[in-house]
Amino acid sequence: MTTDGTAILELDRVSKRFGGLQAVNNLSFTMKPGEILGLIGPNGAGKSTLFNLINGVFAPNTGKIVFNGIDITGERPFVVARHGLARTHQIVQPLTNMTVLENCTVGACFGRENLPLYRARDIAREAVQLTGLDDRSDTLALHLTIAGKKRLELARSLAAQPKLLLLDEVLAGLNPTEVEHMIGVIRKIRDSGVTILIIEHLMQAIMSLSDRIVVLNYGQKLAEGLPAEVARDAAVIEAYLGDPKLAAELEGQA
């Protein structure tokens, strides 16, 4: 794969092994600025590991990760964050004894802009508002409901004013109304110019949100393409969607 200079994220033959388990195997893909790329695959396919490799929680065994023209392979998470890459966690990681606003202020202070405290608070307030948490901005994070904590994950990563946002199952565990609200928020974020890589199990949601889809299975790329193409792919149907009827339904939707 070659760098054409327009990609915001480039993975080049990235692999990660845990003992005998090949969690991510020789994976390559690129992301264009402004797109939403959906990452799907069965449980254990290596999706979250991939996020951890991109944002520096783990270093890959082999391969290269280039973000916005900078080689970030094996960089520590706080270095990657400073370059403008933010993420949310599948298992929420709130700073429990801090308020919603304080959580977001941490994101704004130490994110891409490296803002001083007084300016970070304003950015944090905007993020709190955008995610619909404004009525709870002085609530301690530990008192939030699970939906609230999911929103906080999103608000905090937004406050960092990232160029690229990694969303790890932000819709899981939310009720249909909350899902709808969250999808609206994600669209708004994209419209503000942020590129988004999203892991999601809710098929309808990810098919309608994503510009393109990458399907992982056993740490390898099984398919890549437009949502409709992926839903039609025989290998994907067999490995993941399982049900040809669901596949047909999704194809129609996308």
For residue 79, what are the contacts with CB-CB under 8 A and spacing of at least 6? 56, 72
Q: Does 70 bind another protein (CB under 8 A)?
A: no
As given in the structure block, the two tokens for residue 213 are 């889809």
Among 70, 106, 147, 226, binds another protein (CB under 8 A): 106
Question: Are 165 and 191 contacting, i.e. CB atoms less than 8 angstroms apart?
Answer: no
Among 109, 174, 213, 237, binds another protein (CB under 8 A): 109
For residue 177, what are the contacts with CB-CB under 8 A and spacing of at least 6? none
DSSP 146-206: HHHHHHHHHHHHHHT--SEEEEESSSTT--HHHHHHHHHHHHHHHHTT-EEEEE-S-HHHH
Instruction: State the DSSP H helix or E strand holding residue 49, giving kind and residue range, or none if neither.
Output: helix 47-54
Contacting range for another protein; rule: CB under 8 A; set: 103-111, 190-198, 220-228, 243-251: 103-111
The CB-of-95 to another protein minimum distance in angstroms stands at 4
**Cβ proximity to another protein, 38 vs 94, nearer residue:** 94
Query: Length of the chain in residues, anyone?
Result: 254
**Cβ proximity to another protein, 98 vs 202, nearer residue:** 98
Paired residues of 167 in beta bridges:
198
**Cβ proximity to another protein, 62 vs 114, nearer residue:** 114
Q: How far is CA 243 from the centre of its chain?
A: 26
The CB-of-236 to another protein minimum distance in angstroms stands at 31
Q: Does 60 bind another protein (CB under 8 A)?
A: no
Contacts to another protein from residues 131-190, by CB under 8 A: 156, 160
Contacting range for another protein; rule: CB under 8 A; set: 70-78, 126-134, 174-182, 233-241: 70-78
The C-alpha angle with vertex 12 and arms to 24 and 197, in degrees rounded to 5, equals 70
The CB-of-89 to another protein minimum distance in angstroms stands at 8
Distance CA 121, CA 102 (A): 8
Contacting range for another protein; rule: CB under 8 A; set: 99-107, 127-135, 190-198, 240-248: 99-107
Among 6, 97, 175, 177, binds another protein (CB under 8 A): 97
Q: Does 122 bind another protein (CB under 8 A)?
A: no
Q: Does 69 bind another protein (CB under 8 A)?
A: no
As given in the structure block, the two tokens for residue 162 are 């990232």
Under DSSP, is residue 104 helix (H, G, I), strand (E, B) or coil? helix
Among 17, 32, 82, 232, binds another protein (CB under 8 A): 82
Give the footprint of another protein on this chain (CB under 8 A): 55, 57, 76-78, 81-82, 86-87, 89, 93-98, 102, 105-107, 109-111, 114, 116-117, 120, 156, 160
